[in-house]
């Protein structure tokens, strides 16, 4: 890994989506995005949506949720 010699910059190791998906699969977990009925209804009704909230769950082989994350994006 290369680090920038400029002390005003910073860098750190990162795990991007493809690497995270590979590790998740190796651990026998699956990714689930639970449906959001209010969001789905708004989309089907052609409502102008300004903010989107998504939740992601990691489930083990038995289907138990072992981790979850939430993200918000603005349009």
DSSP 73: E
| Domain limits, the chain | 28-74
pTM for the predicted model, two decimal places: 0.62
Is the model's pLDDT at 3 over the cut of 70? no
* pLDDT tens, position by position, 27-70: 999 999 988 888 889 889 999 888 888 899 999 999 999 999 99
| DSSP bridge pairs for 56 | 69
Question: What is the per-residue burial (b if ≥16 Cβ within 10 Å, else e) of 6-27?
Answer: eeeeeeeeeeeeeeeeeeeeee
């Amino acid at each position: 890994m290369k680090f920038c010699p400029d002390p005003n910059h910073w860098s750190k190791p990162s795990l991007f989506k493809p690497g995270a998906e590979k590790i998740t699969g190796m651990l026998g977990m699956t990714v689930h995005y639970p449906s959001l009925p209010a969001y789905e209804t708004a989309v089907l009704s052609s409502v102008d949506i300004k903010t989107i909230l998504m939740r992601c769950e990691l489930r083990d082989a038995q289907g138990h949720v072992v981790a979850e994350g939430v993200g918000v994006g603005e349009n």
